[in-house]
Amino acid sequence: MTAMRAALLLLLVACGRDPARAPKARVSLTPDAGVAAAAAVAPPSDGCTLVDHPLQRAQPARLVAIGDVHGDLAATRHALRLGGAIDADDRWIGGELVVVQTGDILDRGSGEQEILELFERLEGEAAKAGGAFVWLLGNHELMNSAGDFRYVTDGGWADFADAPGVDPARPDLKDALAGATDEVKARAAAFLPGGPYADMFAGQDVATIVGDAVFSHAGFLSTWTADVTAMNRSARCWLDGQGATPAVLEDSDGPVWTRAWGGAEVDCARLREVLGALGVARMVVGHTPQDTGINSACDGALWRIDTGMSSAYGGPVQVLELTPTGGRALSD
């Protein structure tokens, strides 16, 4: 985290500002302690040992995309069932179905731990059935791993106080978290690089391509199209405790932050340039809640799938079904 970003975060916390309409963290929990602890995690200097994931998957017979869920377990289950991925017992029934979830699992809700554990299990079950469950990193996953806890709810703080594998007494965080509450210590130990949930994130990518569509949390601008595999790697290595803070966390125009594709006005020529650089025909993004639900722009070249389905926003539960010739929103 750059000094400028850390200073801005501390200022926002001190002033009680809430630019993203999120519930404020309780002042007594001092979320800035997480920032200090994140800065204290020193990456090793011997290089990253993680193996890169394949960037591209072939077009499956059936492809479904799910947007931001923000800690709402009920909405997450609802979306997965709408897409034909799970049964009433949360077991994979999708067969060769490919599901892509575009990040922002964390914050604004209290079901985070159960969602993460569900996603980890579905990843394995889908693979065994010949399908795939792909969940990407959003800005809120990276924020928590950088110690930015502004949008943690009361339930979210409590959720990781007794999470399996979490050691609130992590030796590398001892000094940075001196005086912090037990809940801050637990969440920091869970999500800061090298922690058990950061390690879980290190198994995921920022972006992926399935068939002719690129998926990321917020979408690409041309400045980020040169080497997507390297971008994924830098985020994963950092999360695993094997690298420096990735540029994708810091860049407000990057694939987890940009608002270029979420608003009413979209520059379709700019979009075509980006798609051409990536060698795809379509882009699928979350990040910006859509008042009208799932929708497309630029003759179907852009799909926006953040419906604000979590209880924090109260939007409809919808998922996107993509075919080589188009897409449609699935809802009750």
- Residues belonging to the active site: 140
pLDDT at 47: 85
Blockwise average pLDDT, block size 10, the chain, 332 residues:
38 33 35 72 74 97 98 98 98 98 98 98 98 98 97 93 91 91 94 97 98 98 97 97 96 98 96 98 98 97 98 98 95 96
pLDDT at 30: 55
Cβ atoms of 92 and 126 within 8 Å: the answer is yes
pLDDT at 223: 97
3-state secondary structure of 98: strand
Q: Which of 225, 236, 247, 64 is nearest to 137 (CA)?
A: 236
- pTM of the predicted model as reported, rounded to 2 decimal places: 0.89
Alpha-helical (H) ranges within 167-279 are 182-191, 196-201, 228-239, 247-250, 268-278
pLDDT at 162: 85
pLDDT at 129: 98
Structural domains of the chain ordered from first start: 45-141+192-330 (3.60.21.10)
Question: Which string of b and e fits 31-63 if b means at least 16 CB within 10 Å?
Answer: bbbbbbbbbbbebeeeebeeeeeebebeebebb
